[in-house]
């Protein structure tokens, strides 16, 4: 059976706050191009 994972991203001036449900995992990410590239790889 396939498990759906939902990604919520709160965008602020300095960072992205990311939360994954139903995993309950949360982390922050900067807004530079390399950091966003890392976020894409992580997701």
pLDDT digit string (tens) for 24-43? 999 999 999 999 999 999 99
| Rounded Cα distance, 3 and 36, in Å | 25
CA distances from 39 to 1, 2, 11 (A): 26, 23, 13
Residue 14, phi-psi category: left (phi > 0), alpha (psi -120 to 50), beta (remainder): alpha
Whose structure tokens read 């960072």? Answer: 15
Which pLDDT belongs to residue 40? 97
Looking at the 3D structure of the chain, how many domains does it have? Answer: 1
Domain that holds residue 17: 6-42
- Are 40 and 33 a contacting pair, CB within 8 Å? no
Whose structure tokens read 């530079």? Answer: 32
Q: pTM for the whole thing? A: 0.84
**1 domain residue, yes or no:** no
pLDDT digit string (tens) for 4-17? 999 999 999 999 99
């Amino acid at each position: 059976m396939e498990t759906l994972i939902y990604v919520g991203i709160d965008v602020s001036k300095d960072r992205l706050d990311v939360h994954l449900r139903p995993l309950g995992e949360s982390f922050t990410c900067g807004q530079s191009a390399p950091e966003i590239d890392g976020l894409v790889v992580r997701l």
